[in-house]
Structure 1
Amino acid sequence: MLTGATGQVGHALAETLGGHTLVMPGRDALDLSRPDRIASCVERIAPDLIINPAAYTAVDKAEAEPELARLINTEAVRALAQAAALHGIGLVHFSTDYVFDGTKEEAYRESDPTCPINVYGRTKRDGESAIIDSGCAFWILRTSWVYGRHGGNFMKTILRLAQERDALCVVNDQFGAPTSDEVIAQTLRQMLEAGKGRITEHMRASTGIYHLTCGGQTSWHAYACKLVDAMPSLGLVSRMSSRDVQGIASAAYPTAARRPANSRLHTDKLRHTFHLDLPHWAEALDQCLALMASSPSSH
């Protein structure tokens, strides 16, 4: 059972896990803002596994809609986890770097204390806690700076703005690893395949929180510069070059929700547990851009 199949990560998962029988309930069947109806939906579908990439992800809007964010990111997750525990099935849940406050100097490990600084981060952290408390077999996969060819994201916003404007200002004091939805989906596929068809037992043996991001690090500013420089290879005409992308401090670009300055996540636990290699963020971005270049309709 795959939630949020029309969303960015959900769409990539639906494509990548196509070899499995996927049930992808729409909002009419599974409305995450109505957690009281989730148990009956899970019972009706009777899946072998629940995969939940669906979330309330409008970070700034969540400051004005904390109750809706809580219903979707915490209470719906609690209901999914309790249903998974009741029926003895596993739950794969996607979380975020925003569960941390970003003040640590090194990359965050799974064992580091959480300390979210905005509503979105708090509701996602509370969703994690609800899963742990449920007793179900779970993988919580924290990721960061997600982008892809489907849906709205920073990559597509920069490519659009560079065609409309003569200059851009992008913050240069927040650091992380852009991670493509395809890397996320392919990684989960490999994790599932390692179970050799015994997924619930496999998940019980490896239950826990894992960090799933591409390797390396960059700033939003440097990321934007790379995108602008790549535009000719996509057949896009930019009104600027990377020299016209100005780096600014976060304080000069106030937003409703505070963002962590350090979004770097340590991925050793995931790589060693499942014997996986995760690509460098620039390599994964180049692969995504190459696919976009071969399919102009995707941008």
Structure 2
Amino acid sequence: MKLLVFGQQGQLAQAVAAVGPHRGIDVTCLGRSKCNITSPTDVTGWLTRIRPDLVLNAAAFTAVDAAETQVDQATALNTTAPQFLARATMEHKIAFLHVSTDYVFDGRKAGPYVETDPTHPLNVYGQTKRDGELAVLDANPTALVVRTSWVFSPFAHNFVRTILKRAQERVPLSVVDDQTGAPTSALDLADACLTALQAKHTGSLAAGIFHYTSSGQTSWYGLAREILDQTQDWRPGFDIEIKAVTTDQFKTAAVRPRNSVLDCRAFVGQFGHVQPNWRDSLSETLVALKPEFGAST
């Protein structure tokens, strides 16, 4: 079984490349240097060349603050390109999964968001991702759209790496404590996406929007604290000052939702896929990162 993944440089694509072979899947990942996903000609050319059974779109403009001023670039990657991919996979009859975000919600709900809750993005990134969801399902009603949140991994740039780097440099940290979400391992997410895609390939009629994250929830401060607590034996330098602050105290260009916890029961029920706890998955990620950030022996 062949899988074509767009977004080679990102966490999810690298995680899929690591997980896929263990599931008997031949994974090909494409990045910007090989394929311009905003070009229908490029997209169609690669589908014809690879002839995949499955396609996963993990490419996105994910710089949330930068999107506020780079609207055209965010729209091209988060809305226009996914529509091209959805249309092409529909024409070629290929199972297609597009990854979206918790930031399609405004965070005003008291509990976890379900797939049918009204969306109300607070920033350009969230709006372009929501527009992308609609564009994908309009172009390819058989597609799967999986919303996720707070992705971390041993790969690429992410919050866990940032905290470890700051700790390594003994830089005091101020981290927001009034935004709540579900930290999600890219490796867990990759496994979940592959489960869904393989189900589609073998006849599942599931389509539309689903939520998938690791289980449990915390704040950004809680996540940072957990990272430092789990790595405190690596070196004395990890005993650094960390301060919890409010969103109002930590100004950013883009407004972010206070609550973006996603209810994943529909995905679990449809595909029978277990959600590992985020703390357990974080531990595995930190073990993988220890050679890079831990004390030398």
Query: What's the TM-score, normalizing by structure 1?
Result: 0.90
**Which residue is equivalent to 1:269?**
266
The offset of 1:283, in angstroms, is 1.7
Runs of 5+ unmatched residues, structure 1: none
Alpha-carbon displacement from aligned partner over 1:2-52 (angstroms, at most 9, x marks no partner): 111221110000111123222323324311344564233333433222111
Instruction: Assess, with a 3 A threshold, how the Cα gap between structure 1 residues 115 and 76 changes in structure 2: closer, same or farther.
Output: same
- Which AA in structure 1 matches 2:5? L
Give the Cα separation in 1 of the matches to 2:236 and 2:260.
Answer: 32
Instruction: Give the alignment partner of residue 135 of structure 2, picking from 130, 133, 148.
Output: 130
The offset of 1:232, in angstroms, is 3.1
Runs of 4+, deviation exceeding 6 Å = none
- Which AA in structure 2 matches 1:290? V
Matched, 1:259 2:256: yes
Following superposition of structure 1 onto structure 2, how do residues 186-197 of structure 1 map, counting pairs within 5 Å? 186-193=191-198, 195=199
**Which residue is equivalent to 1:217?**
217
- Which AA in structure 1 matches 2:224? A
Q: Is the 8 A contact 1:38 1:76 kept in 2?
A: no
Q: Is the 8 A contact 1:34 1:76 kept in 2?
A: yes
Alpha-carbon displacement from aligned partner over 1:44-79 (angstroms, at most 9, x marks no partner): 433222111111111111111100110111000000
Matched, 1:199 2:201: yes
Identity between Structure 1 and Structure 2 (%): 39
Following superposition of structure 1 onto structure 2, how do residues 31-180 of structure 1 map, counting pairs within 5 Å? 31-35=36-40, 37-165=42-170, 167-180=172-185
Instruction: Assess, with a 3 A threshold, how the Cα gap between structure 1 residues 17 and 166 changes in structure 2: closer, same or farther.
Output: closer
Corresponding residue SS for 1:24: strand
Q: Is the 8 A contact 2:232 2:238 kept in 1?
A: no
The count of residues paired between Structure 1 and Structure 2 equals: 289
The offset of 1:163, in angstroms, is 2.2
Matched, 1:14 2:13: no
Q: Is the 8 A contact 1:175 1:263 kept in 2?
A: yes
- Which AA in structure 1 matches 2:82? V
- Please give the root-mean-square deviation of Cα atoms over the aligned residues, in Å: 1.9
Give the Cα separation in 1 of the matches to 2:39 and 2:252.
Answer: 29
Runs of 5+ unmatched residues, structure 2: none
Give the Cα separation in 2 of the matches to 1:156 and 1:36.
Answer: 36
Give the Cα separation in 1 of the matches to 2:175 and 2:158.
Answer: 15
